[in-house]
Amino acid sequence: MPFIFFNIYTLQTIKQILKVLSSSFHLLCRLPFPLAFLLILSSSSPAAGASPGSILIFSRISRSIKLKAYLFNLEARRQTETRKKNLGKNGRNRGTDYNLVDRISWLPDEVLVSILSRLPLKEAAATSILSRQWRYVWASTMTLVFDSEFDIYPFHRFYEIKPELRDQETHRYIDWVNHVVEHHTGTTIERFRACFHLDYRYSSSIDKWIHIARKKQVQILELDFHARARENYYTFSEELLGINQVSASKLKHSYPEIPSVRFCGYNTGFKFLKALCVRKVSVSQEILEYFLSNCPLLERLTVGYTTKKLVNLRVVGPSIALKYLVIESCPGLHSIEISGVNLVSFSYCGTAINLLLSKVPFLVEVSISEEPVKNSSDHRHRVWGIHYLVSHRSIVLPFTQLSCCLAQLEILEVDIVGAVYNDSYTFPILANLKHLKLLIGANYYWDLDHLSSFMKACPYLKRLVLKVNRPTCGERKEIAKVAKCPHNYLKVVEIVGYRAHACVIQHVMFLMESIVELEKIVIDPVRHWCWPRGTDGGREEPDLEAKAREHAMQHLKQRVPSTVEFVCL
């Protein structure tokens, strides 16, 4: 729901709101409160006599929409005044019939659709019961977000219910999406999002959704599925893009408007696409590079938890518009090449890969984190280059792979859990770095040495975030003390995933002793990165978080100087 800020300090403003409310009460009483409130405010205007300071401001309603609503409201007011003048003396004495004007329905459909597009899909559809005029307004909404909402169990507990109930919920979801997309009357779709436990068995329905979204010039396409086994993932159809010419000719019979190599010459039909997000969807290198090469407006690409079908990825060439790239948990990925593009942000989480970066002058934000290898014989084994305890790899590798952009980085996130510390290695200076995030182990004895080295390498750092991971099994060595590292620019420190571990306390004390102008310490016990939506786990987390908050307030707060603001979330 959009953030609403308003300032009311005149009775005249209150009278205006009540006037609009009373004139459309027969409609508003049947609306969800958020929608009713939005419509009341959108039909109010300065013409009603409110002072400038009492104008209500909406952060998500564009100026053009507000202007159109304002002009139509002026017209409504003019007609109301005309009706008032035409009323006879008896009519005026009988009451205020001229106030009973449905100003909301006088708003243009474009304004109403814009407002409904900012509501959850089910709430927007609920407006169809208001009147005949409103019956199909919701069907033109530009935002189709199909997030599953369960009343009796959490989203990530889906596979714990009985199979027959799972099938029932799945078919209800499929029918819901099919009904909405088939009855959608709008010419464009700004955002299409499907999020549910879907796999290859529902490929025909998913293909149809993608086809309709493509046909209606979708700008943001999100496919966030949660099939358990990777071999059961939905496979993004190459035929939808016209890559496979033989299969595309067959699909052409079912969906005549789907582009193909033969019919449109390598035009995907997604020329308005600005953001693509696929999670737990099987995609190939050809699919992703096809989107990159044929979508001139594509600026955001997120690929997560895909199959081993994706082996390599090349983001190369000045014609590619991509600015934000996120790759996470792609087990078959061997290499990523990024060159000659205007990339601003790059995030990678996964196994060790060959990362080739060159000619990325605008890259200012990088996140590199590891992912443990399943069924590893050594529980300490880490898979990103900086975490090879087995092969004694050090933190040198990520700095080497990022060497072309280290000097320009402003935001850096690195996972240093299990990284072997080498006191003979000097960190390169990150002169422009302002925001540093480090994922540390709750009891890893080398992390404090790494923290000290990072602080020396980032002389102008302003914000430091320490994300505390779970304790590493078998690591019980005493954490060595590190000499103070004076830092003059660091102002804010956040400890995320805080627990009452000795390592965490030592990190906090080291920072308070080293930072000269520390202004604020934030303690957040929630480990947001551990249990993302759609995954199982974290059942014991709320209790641990409560204990962590209690420990921070009782034992940590008293150690923080009074000049430093202490916040425990």
> For 257-279, what is each residue's pLDDT tens digit?
444 333 333 445 789 999 999 99
Percentage of the chain modeled with pLDDT above 70: 59
For the chain, the domains span 4-118, 142-341, 399-569
CA 427 – CA 84 distance, rounded (Å):
78
Percentage of the chain lying above the pLDDT 90 cut: 26
CB 500 within 8 A of CB 467: no
Residues whose CB falls within 8 Å of the CB of residue 118, separated by 6 or more in sequence, listed in order: 1, 2, 38, 60, 61, 143
pLDDT value at position 275? 96
In this predicted model, what pLDDT tens digit does every residue of 407-427 receive, in sequence order? 999 999 988 877 777 777 788
d(CA 497, CA 495): 7
**In this structure, what DSSP letter does residue 295 have?**
-
pLDDT score at 389: 36
Q: Label residue 554 by pLDDT band (50, 70, 90).
A: confident
**Confidence grade of residue 112 (pLDDT, cut at 50, 70, 90):** low
Q: Would you say residue 124 has pLDDT above 90?
A: no
d(CA 295, CA 221): 12
Q: Cα–Cα distance between 60 and 305 in angstroms, integer?
A: 32
Amino acid at 544: L
Q: Which residues contact 281 (CB under 8 A, 6 or more apart)?
A: 223, 225, 233, 234, 235, 236, 306
Please give the pLDDT value at position 453. Answer: 86
The whole-number pLDDT of residue 43 equals 44
Please give the full DSSP string across 467-498, using - where no structure is assigned.
EE-PPPTT--PPPPP-----BSS--EEEEET-
Helix (H, G, I), strand (E, B) or coil at 341: coil
> Helix %, strand %, coil % for the chain, to 5?
40, 20, 45
Min mean pLDDT across 251-260, 304-313, 463-472 is at 251-260
Residue 59 has pLDDT above 80, yes or no: no
**Residue 41 three-state SS:** helix
Report the predicted TM-score, pTM, of the whole model to 2 decimal places. Answer: 0.72
Lowest mean pLDDT among 41-55, 354-368, 436-450, 467-481: 41-55
Q: Is 19 exposed, middle or buried (0-12, 13-18, 19+ CB in 10 A)?
A: middle
The values of phi and psi at residue 35, to 5°, are: -70, -45
Position 233 confidence tier, pLDDT thresholds 50, 70, 90: very high
- Buried/exposed 111-149: b ≥16 CB within 10 Å, e otherwise: bbbbbbbbbbbebbbbbeebeeebeebbbbbbbbebebe
CATH topology of domain 399-569: 3.80.10
Tell me how long the chain is: 569
Q: To which residue do tokens 């290859």 refer? A: 200
Phi, psi of 155 (to 5 degrees): -60, -45
State the CB neighbour count (10 A cutoff) for residue 221. Answer: 23
User: In sequence order, which ranges of 43-101 are alpha helices (DSSP H)?
Assistant: 63-86, 89-94
Backbone φ and ψ for 366, nearest 5 degrees, come out as -135, 140
Strands (E), 20-74: 57-58
Report the pLDDT value the prediction gives residue 188, as an integer from 0 to 100: 86
Whole-angstrom distance, CA of residue 42 vs CA of residue 48: 13
Contact assessment for residue 221 and residue 210, using Cβ atoms and an 8 Å cutoff: yes
Q: 252: pLDDT confidence band, cut at 50, 70 and 90? A: very low
Q: Residue 341: how many CB atoms within 10 A of its CB?
A: 22
Q: How far is CA 47 from the centre of its chain?
A: 39
- pLDDT for 383 beyond 50: no
Of the ranges 60-69, 74-83, 521-530, which one carries the lowest mean pLDDT score? 60-69
